A = this chain, B = another copy of it.
Amino acid sequence: MDFLHCMELAQAERLVDEHLKQGMVGEEEVELLAAVGRVTSRIVWSVDDLPGYARSTVDGFAIRSEDSFGASESAAALFTLIGEIAMGLPVCQTLQPGQAMAIPTGGMLPEGADAVVMLEYTEQPDAESLLVQKMVAPSENVVRRGEEIAAGTVLVDAGVRLCDKQVGLLAACGCSRLWVKQRLKVAIISTGDELVDIQDTPREAQVRDVNTYSLAALLTRWGCEVKRYGIVRDSFEQFLRQLTEATHECQLVLISGGSSVGARDYTVPAIQALDRPGLLMHGLAVKPGKPTIFGLAGSVPVFGLPGHPVAAWIVCEVLVRCAIEKMIGVTTNYRSKKVSAVLSRNLPSLPGRDDFVPVRLVEQATGYVAEPIFGKSGMIGLLAKADGILHVPAANSGLYQGETVWVRLLGGEGV
């Protein structure tokens, strides 16, 4: 199979997009803290005005601003002090002309007051009098009711993956429970006569089943519920039985191929043996990632991923992720965190093929330098060493040393 017979990535993305139903998973209501990392299934709006009352931003005295007009250090305005505002208690009095009340930062302005004069611009000749030595403008040192958020304002759209920096705003607006999309159920089946599970000791000629675990970590980060089916060996019939079961139990199936010819030979006929439409793509013009397979058993997408762990990871990041976001109903375009960097060396590439190259990011005074990391085929330590992935688009015949490039950060430290 050469790249001429492979499907270009952009076309594969369209194919995946066309065949999957937007937001097909159900919804559930969860508590605010449990909603972090989940995707909203409904628009979230503010229940209340924020702040819920006109609030002082300083320690001082609530007054009617017009009563301070003309006041200065040499000609202080005299007010009658009628009391003190306590935090958390409603204020019953209404401020009449010439009256003032002491107010703490965050305190609620009394009816009639429209501004606060700071403590340092006042003097108290006695317990019932206040001298104000500065003119105060209407709304000065005050956040008006609803000034930050009015009740009914949209806080978060539907289809947004919530992050913890949004928790404070949602808490303030009374969103203690949210409707979110259910977790997508994803099956991972490993194939390959040479594979053993990671807790087993490989005998000669055997290797550990890496992809089940690295893909599970990635999918878990994306909020999926992963069901691991383990390693299927032996016969085509057994593989087909396992695959059929997975398409019934899960909403998306990943077949993580061993690199054996036998394992590769199974995936295509097995997908063809499932419900229609069956096989839709065989071969992807992505490096690494060429032996990628995509099909649909009824409405359940099935991806056959390359056996090479770095290739499997990258195809999962660039193509399987489209399927997942579409099915969950993420409406904001997915944008991985990315950084600009200067490329450290020429990076030749074939036009018509999308290349993804692991890079190390080296910090310099003016920004990052991106250093591509290479390794022999099958080398597994590349991702662990890399800080990000550099995309060389299909339209390019490579990138040049010194060029500014965008690097997708490898996420997932959870920090």
Cα A165 to Cα B410 in complex, Å, equals: 7
Any chain B CB within 8 A of the CB of A176?
yes
Of the candidate stretches A75-83, A197-205, A244-252, A294-302, the one touching chain B is A197-205
Report B-chain residues with C-beta under 8 Å of the C-beta of A217: 33, 36, 164, 167
Residue from B161, B168, B199, B368 within 8 A of A415 (CB atoms): B161
Residues B88 and A260 in contact, CB atoms below 8 Å apart = yes
Any chain B CB within 8 A of the CB of A52?
yes
Residues A23-69 near B (CB distance < 8 A):
32-33, 36-37, 48, 50-53, 55, 57, 59
Question: What 0/1 readout, one digit per residue, does chain A (393-415) give for beta carbons within 8 Å of chain B?
Answer: 00000000000100001111111
Residue from B171, B220, B310, B336 within 8 A of A198 (CB atoms): B171
Of the candidate stretches A126-134, A269-277, A280-288, A371-379, the one touching chain B is A371-379
Number of chain copies forming the complex: 2
Residues B384 and A207 in contact, CB atoms below 8 Å apart = no
Residues B414 and A209 in contact, CB atoms below 8 Å apart = no
Report B-chain residues with C-beta under 8 Å of the C-beta of A89: 193, 205
Cα A136 to Cα B178 in complex, Å, equals: 63
Q: 19 A-B contacts, Cβ less than 8 Å apart?
A: A32-B198, A33-B216, A37-B413, A37-B414, A37-B415, A52-B206, A87-B193, A88-B205, A155-B384, A163-B414, A164-B217, A164-B221, A167-B213, A168-B211, A171-B209, A172-B380, A173-B208, A222-B415, A411-B413
The 6 A-B pairs with the shortest beta carbon distances in the complex, nearest first, are A88-B194, A87-B260, A168-B214, A340-B367, A164-B217, A37-B414
